[in-house]
Structures are given as structure tokens and as C-alpha cells.
Amino acid sequence: CDAEYYKQFSAPRSAVTVISSSPFEIEYVRSLRKVDLANVAVVRPIGFGANAGAAAGHDDDHHSHDNDDDDHDDDDGSADGGLADEYLDPAPAGLDKTTRFYVMPMVNEVQLNLAEQLTQRGVPVWTPPSASVDGGWGGPDALRGFRGVVHVPYAPLTFAAFEHAQAGLLTFIPSPSLLLAWLQQRKISFKPQSSDFGVGTSPINEEMLGLTEFYDRGNAPLFVHFDSLDDLASKIRNTDYQARAASLARWAEAHTNSTLWRWRAIDQTLVRGQPLSQQNGS
């Protein structure tokens, strides 16, 4: 049963370290599932697919994993580093991506009719006809040419957020207060559901959102927050994309280096049982 599983999982084991991909996961199991993790480490995804990582000199993140089986989270690549067969670019030939913003037709974007809302406000967007992997998304390489991405988070972490960052794509997301307002108005969904946090815990709030990858202060270079759809249209028009691209590139390099260091440290200390080298990760 679940209770016995969580009891065994939280039993102190000095030789076991639980590696999480997000601080939110740690807080979730501690607050809601009442599992006390004695030894825990956080190692976030880098955001490279198999070929993108190899092309950049990194053999990491060979498989993309998300918190949602329905999300675009497989990243097989072709031998030449281009789009894999199942990741053919779904955008029509001749589409000028450099002036358009990509809107993925995921659950929240569909519920808000986001692409149409932006079009009505004069923002040029493109959205594929389907969110499915087969012909629907195209993979990070297909998105690389777009001006930016507009997304409404539905989970604490998605691999795509890191893929977009590594591809140099700035992502526009609702501010914490707007996301919570939309949740309260039942206009969008967010997993875990807010009802989960009512079981012996506080409802989801801005402090809890701050533990997600979308609202973690350390990931600020990846995102632009908006307080309304009109504010989104305004920020899309007035953002200094050159400055933000430079900031995003610095973040991506530092994130890649520190994440690789963490995996090497885990391999050296936990797997091989050797003392940690003097080289530090930030």
C-alpha cells in the first residue's frame, strides 16, 4: 500500500541519496506525502537533446523526461544533428519564424484560447495543429528560429523549459499572481492540483510556486512575466531581445557547467566512493 511504500522510502539509509530534478518535488513529498528524505540532492535537466548535447560537446541528458507523459519529452536525433524523423518541422515552408511567437497547444494554452487572444492583440504567433509528438511539436531545433515562446505552466517542471533556454528562446509566462488567479477562477490546470495541498497542507501559493523551475529566482533569465494578456502583448513588443539573449546565453553556459559538475560529483562520491575533487560547481 502507499503508506507502507512511503514508510520504507523515508527509512534512514546513510548509503542512499535521493536525487530530485526540482526543489518542488522535495517539498511535495515532505509536505504532502509526509516522507522525510534524509539525504537529497537536486540536479536539474540541462536541456540538451541527444544530438544537441553532442554537438555542443556534452554527452548529457540523453533522454528528456517530464512530469507529464503527454508532453513532448522524447529526444531521439538524427545522425547529422538535425531533426529526427519523428521531429520533422511542422511549420509550413516559408513561415517567417523570426517575427512570430510560438504557442504550444497544451492544456492551458487551449483553455485560454491563447493563440487567438494574442492574434487579436496584434501579436504574430504560430501554433501547431496538435500537441502530439508525431508531427505536432518538431522538437527544440524546429523552435530555434522563433522570436520567443509563450507558455502557461501546467506542472512544476517541464524539460521543454530547459530545451527552449538552451536553444536561446526567451519564454513569456504569467506572473505568480496571475497564475494563481487563473487557477482560482478554474481557467487553467496545474499539477499537482491545488486540492492536493488542502490535505493537511496549505493551498498552493506564491511561496510554493517559487520552488518550481518557472518561478525560481535562479532561472529568471529564462522568463518574462506578464500580469494580463494586454501586459503580455505590451512586453512582447517592448522587450530588449538582444540584451535578454545575452543574459540567457550566460545562464545556459553556467547552468550546463554546474549541472555537469554535479553529476560528476555524484559519480565520484556516491558511485565510486572517492573524495570530491577540488573543482567546484556553482
Each residue of 80-130: pLDDT tens digit? 344 444 567 778 888 999 999 999 888 999 999 999 999 999 999 999 876
Within-domain flag for 272: no
Number of domains in the chain: 1
Grid cell for residue 74: 522524447
Whether pLDDT at 171 is above 80: yes
Q: Quick check: is 44 in a domain?
A: no
Within 113-261, strands assigned E span 125-126, 148-150, 171-174, 223-226
Do 256 and 58 form a contact (C-beta atoms < 8 A)? yes
Q: Report if residue 275 sits inside a domain.
A: no
Question: Is 202 domain-assigned?
Answer: yes
- 165 falls within a domain: yes
Tell me which residue range forms the domain holding 185.
Answer: 87-254
Residue 70 has pLDDT above 70, yes or no: no
Q: What are phi and psi of 78, to 5 degrees?
A: -85, 165
Q: Is 259 contained in some domain? A: no
Mean pLDDT computed over every residue of the chain: 80
* 168: CATH: 3.40.50
Answer yes or no: is 263 within a domain: no
Determine the Cα–Cα distance for residues 156 and 67; give it in Å rounded to an integer.
8
Cα(101)–Cα(38) distance, rounded to whole angstroms? 44
Is 182 contained in some domain?
Answer: yes
**Which tens digits make up the pLDDT trace of 9-44?**
777 777 778 888 888 888 888 877 778 777 888 889
